[in-house]
């Protein structure tokens, strides 16, 4: 969910899905699948959301190698996420889809329900090694439409010097009460408490969800008492000066920039900030987002799925499945997920990641507790729920409505939109 790169894909951009696209939106040079019709040899198209990687990158070299291993030549095109979603839907309409498609996990349900993706069971994709909570983000009606290539999620970074000055032991922060008490001590010591992103976009919902789910709330009932308690927590932090008013407009990038000043005790952010944290100029640590009553709160998963689009020439599926198996197999996942700053989607490779870098253990634990935003059979209903949710967060934090009234309005809007 790195907003400078993955954040545009996994948060705000990925869920602004265009469900209706006219043929006039097609560019004349839009690539199609091409290659031999019998599935043996030829050229296979791969579309991915990593335009930052050129042909000399380890990622593209891996794609080429996986194609060669399957006996074909790979032609790869990288797109920005929102552009990729639109092109994938249009290509499906024109029976011109790529052979392998890598997309942000919330987009899977949109493409599957549009008939653009083939189910894993129909193409021979093996999903058995994938962690169920990560695989669920790519399931519709109980069927998987791809496999996760990796995952990221949210946790709390903390500034060791600020907490030490406030005499706060981060190990004691295991629930909301403990965190709020710590913020009070930090403010009393003359420092700033916590920064996060509550902007009126999918990023705002993404960052609120750990607190929402950590209260025990469900996305099918936005105005439950549990949900109100989560929004009240954030609202109280602003009122008490534990969080800045800037969170209302903060993206995940600007929130991180506030933390990087060294004045804040905590920042809610993701694995994609690890490189920036190492350059921040102060010692930091990471703890999971705590649930209301203790333990790790379920945070939303970011990350992409590798899927196989529907093809009229179904003989191509077997070779496409070989390419996908190569990309997501244990022999390649460790290097790939290190490159993408992801936690691996399998327990075996997660263990390898922690062995190489013990600091990743907190992220592995967070991913194990994470949930897909489109899970719980929400599918394409999720964006129609998320927007009222972030609207409610904005209303409560700005003071225009109480948390209860804001969420009551959100539930009415979501219920009407998802009938």
pLDDT digits (tens, 9 = 90+) for 255-278: 999 999 999 999 999 999 998 999
> Is the pLDDT at 174 greater than 60, yes or no?
yes
What are 317-346's pLDDT values in tens digits? 999 999 999 999 988 999 889 888 899 999
Average pLDDT over residues 10-20: 32
> Is the pLDDT at 301 greater than 90, yes or no?
yes
Q: What is the pLDDT of residue 115?
A: 96
Average pLDDT over residues 361-376: 92
What share of the chain in percent tops pLDDT 90?
84
Q: What is the pLDDT of residue 31?
A: 40
Are 285 and 405 part of one and the same domain?
yes
Residue 119 · residue 52 · CB < 8 Å = no
What are 79-112's pLDDT values in tens digits? 987 789 999 999 999 999 999 999 999 999 999 9
Average pLDDT over residues 68-78: 97
Main-chain phi, psi angles of 77, to 5 degrees: -130, 130
Q: Is residue 238, in this structure, part of any structural domain at all?
A: yes
Tell which of 331, 346, 369 closes a domain: 369
CA distance 147 to 134: 9
> Is the pLDDT at 25 greater than 50, yes or no?
no
Are 361 and 400 part of one and the same domain?
no
Q: Which of 26-30, 228-232, 251-255, 269-273 has the lowest mean pLDDT?
A: 26-30
Are 48 and 117 part of one and the same domain?
yes
Tell which of 369, 393, 409 closes a domain: 369
Q: What is the pLDDT of residue 30?
A: 36
Q: What is the pTM of this model?
A: 0.84
Q: Is residue 44, in this structure, part of any structural domain at all?
A: yes
Q: Is residue 63, in this structure, part of any structural domain at all?
A: yes
Confidence category of residue 13, pLDDT binned at 50, 70, 90: very low
Tell which of 351, 369, 387 closes a domain: 369
Are 41 and 109 part of one and the same domain?
yes
Q: What is the mean pLDDT of the chain?
A: 89
Average pLDDT over residues 14-30: 29
Are 335 and 265 part of one and the same domain?
no
Are 45 and 191 part of one and the same domain?
no
Average pLDDT over residues 67-75: 97
CATH code where residue 97 lies: 3.40.190.10
Looking at per-residue pLDDT, the higher value among 295 and 17 belongs to 295
> Is the pLDDT at 307 greater than 50, yes or no?
yes
> Is the pLDDT at 10 greater than 70, yes or no?
no
End-to-end Cα separation, the chain, in angstroms: 30
126: number of Cβ within 10 Å: 13
Looking at per-residue pLDDT, the higher value among 5 and 129 belongs to 129
Are 364 and 319 part of one and the same domain?
yes
Are 100 and 196 part of one and the same domain?
no
> Is the pLDDT at 35 greater than 60, yes or no?
no
Q: How many domains does the chain have?
A: 2
Q: What is the pLDDT of residue 3?
A: 36
Residue-range definition of the domain harbouring residue 358: 6-151+303-369
Q: What is the pLDDT of residue 12?
A: 32
Average pLDDT over residues 276-295: 96
Q: Which of 3-7, 166-170, 224-228, 309-313 has the lowest mean pLDDT?
A: 3-7
Are 60 and 189 part of one and the same domain?
no
Are 291 and 410 part of one and the same domain?
yes
What are 180-212's pLDDT values in tens digits? 999 999 999 999 999 999 999 999 999 999 999
CA distance 215 to 403: 14
Q: What is the pLDDT of residue 40?
A: 57
Are 271 and 320 part of one and the same domain?
no
Q: Is residue 1, in this structure, part of any structural domain at all?
A: no
Q: Which of 4-13, 40-49, 240-249, 287-296 has the lowest mean pLDDT?
A: 4-13
Are 219 and 344 part of one and the same domain?
no
Q: What is the pLDDT of residue 24?
A: 23
Strand pairing partners for 144? 139
> Is the pLDDT at 418 greater than 80, yes or no?
yes
């Amino acid at each position: 969910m790195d907003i400078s790169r993955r954040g545009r894909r996994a948060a705000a951009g990925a869920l602004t899905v265009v469900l209706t696209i006219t043929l006039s939106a097609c560019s004349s040079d839009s690539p199609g699948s091409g290659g031999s019709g019998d599935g043996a040899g030829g050229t296979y198209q791969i579309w991915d959301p990593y335009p930052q990687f050129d042909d000399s990158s380890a990622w593209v070299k891996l794609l080429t190698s996986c194609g060669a291993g399957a006996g074909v030549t790979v032609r790869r095109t990288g797109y920005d996420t929102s552009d990729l979603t639109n092109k994938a839907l249009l290509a499906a309409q024109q029976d011109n889809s790529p052979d392998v498609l890598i997309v942000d996990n919330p987009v899977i349900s949109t493409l599957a329900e549009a008939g653009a993706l083939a189910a894993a069971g129909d193409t021979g994709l093996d999903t058995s090694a994938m962690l169920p909570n990560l695989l669920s983000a790519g399931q519709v009606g109980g069927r998987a439409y791809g496999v996760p290539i990796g995952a990221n999620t949210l946790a709390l970074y903390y500034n060791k010097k600020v907490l030490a000055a406030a005499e706060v032991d981060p190990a004691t922060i295991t629930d909301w009460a403990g965190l709020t008490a710590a913020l009070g001590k930090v403010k009393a010591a003359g420092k700033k408490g916590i920064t996060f992103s509550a902007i009126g976009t999918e990023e705002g919902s993404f960052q609120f969800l750990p607190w929402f789910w950590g209260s025990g709330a469900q996305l099918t009932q936005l105005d439950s008492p549990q949900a109100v308690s989560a929004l009240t927590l954030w609202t109280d932090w602003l009122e008490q000066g534990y969080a800045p008013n800037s969170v209302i407009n903060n993206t995940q990038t600007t929130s991180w920039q506030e933390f990087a000043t060294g004045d804040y005790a905590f920042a809610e952010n993701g694995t994609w900030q690890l490189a920036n944290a190492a350059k921040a100029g102060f010692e930091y640590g990471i703890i999971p987002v705590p649930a209301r009553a203790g333990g790790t709160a379920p945070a939303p998963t970011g990350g992409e799925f590798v899927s196989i689009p529907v093809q009229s020439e179904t003989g191509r599926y077997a070779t496409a499945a070989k390419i996908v198996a190569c990309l997501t197999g244990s022999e390649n996942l460790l290097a790939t997920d290190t490159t993408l700053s992801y936690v691996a989607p399998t327990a075996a490779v997660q263990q390898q990641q922690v062995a190489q870098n013990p600091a990743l253990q907190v992220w592995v634990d967070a991913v194990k507790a994470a949930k897909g935003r489109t899970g719980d059979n929400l599918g394409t209903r999720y964006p129609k729920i998320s927007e009222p949710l972030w609207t409610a967060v904005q209303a409560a934090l700005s003071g225009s409505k109480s948390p209860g009234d804001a969420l009551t309005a959100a539930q009415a809007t979501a219920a009407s939109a998802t009938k």
